[in-house]
C-alpha cells in the first residue's frame, strides 16, 4: 500500500476514535485488498456521525465546509432535473457504451443509480441510492453537498456502494450498522 493510502487510513482511524458510535448508528466501511508486490490491506470502519463531524474541517481538492466546489465543471446539464426524471422512470438501462476496450453501462435499479465500467483489467461498480445522489447535488449548481449526501446515506444499509476489482487490488465501500462491517464478505483481489 502506498504512503497516501496509509495517510488516509490514519485520518479515518483518528475520526473513529474522536467520535464513538451510538447504538444503531450507521458505519462507513472501506476495504482495500492488494495483491502481488502491493499485497496488504486497509480496513476502515468509521461512524457516519464522525465523518459528518470532521467533514467541515476538510479543505482539500475543492472540498470545503462539506461542499465539493465544481469550479465550472457543472456544465449545461441540470443534474437535479436529470435525477428527478430518473426517479420517475421505471428501471432501465439508459446508456451503454462499448468502444472495444471499455464498456460503460448506466442504469437505474430499485431506486439506485447504477454505473458499471469494465475495461483495462478493471471492473468498477457504483450503486448509489437516488436519494443520496439528489442530496449530493443539492441546490447549488456549482457545488455538491457531501454533508447532505452523508446524512441521506444513513437511511441505507448493507449494500455495496462502490466495488473496484483489478489485478493489483480490490476496493469495497458500503454502509451498515455493524461496527466491524462483518455483514458481507470482502472481495479479494485477483491474483
Residue 94 lies in a domain: yes
Highest average pLDDT, of 2-11, 66-75, 140-149, comes from 140-149
Averaged pLDDT for residues 63-84: 78
Residue 119 lies in a domain: yes
Give the pLDDT confidence of 141-187 residue by residue, as tens digits.
788 899 999 999 988 888 899 999 988 889 999 998 888 775 444 44
Centre a 10 Å sphere on the Cβ of residue 157 and count the other Cβ atoms it contains. Answer: 14
- Domains in the chain, number: 1
Residue 187 lies in a domain: no
Residue 191 lies in a domain: no
Residue 55 lies in a domain: yes
Mean pLDDT of the chain: 80
Range of the domain at 146: 3-176
Confidence at 83, pLDDT banded by 50, 70, 90: confident
| Single pTM value for the model | 0.74
What distance in Å separates the CA atoms of residue 169 and residue 180, rounded to the nearest whole number? 21
Amino acid at each position: 500500500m502506498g504512503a497516501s493510502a496509509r495517510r488516509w487510513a490514519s485520518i479515518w482511524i483518528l475520526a473513529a476514535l474522536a467520535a464513538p458510535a451510538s447504538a444503531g448508528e450507521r458505519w462507513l466501511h472501506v476495504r482495500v485488498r492488494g495483491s502481488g508486490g502491493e499485497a496488504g490491506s486497509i480496513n476502515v470502519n468509521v461512524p457516519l456521525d464522525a465523518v459528518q463531524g470532521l467533514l467541515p474541517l476538510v479543505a482539500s481538492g475543492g472540498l470545503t465546509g462539506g461542499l465539493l466546489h465544481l469550479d465550472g465543471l457543472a456544465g449545461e446539464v441540470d443534474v437535479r432535473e436529470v435525477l428527478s426524471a430518473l426517479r420517475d422512470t421505471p428501471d432501465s438501462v439508459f446508456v451503454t457504451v462499448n468502444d472495444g476496450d471499455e464498456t460503460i453501462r448506466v442504469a437505474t435499479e430499485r431506486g439506485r443509480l447504477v454505473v458499471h465500467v469494465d475495461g483495462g483489467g478493471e471492473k468498477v461498480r457504483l450503486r448509489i441510492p437516488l436519494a443520496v445522489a439528489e442530496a449530493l447535488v443539492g441546490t447549488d449548481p456549482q457545488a455538491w453537498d457531501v454533508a447532505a449526501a452523508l446524512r441521506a446515506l444513513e437511511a441505507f444499509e448493507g449494500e455495496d456502494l462502490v466495488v473496484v476489482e483489478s489485478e493489483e487490488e480490490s476496493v469495497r465501500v458500503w454502509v451498515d450498522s455493524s461496527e466491524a462491517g462483518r455483514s458481507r464478505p470482502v472481495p479479494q483481489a485477483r491474483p
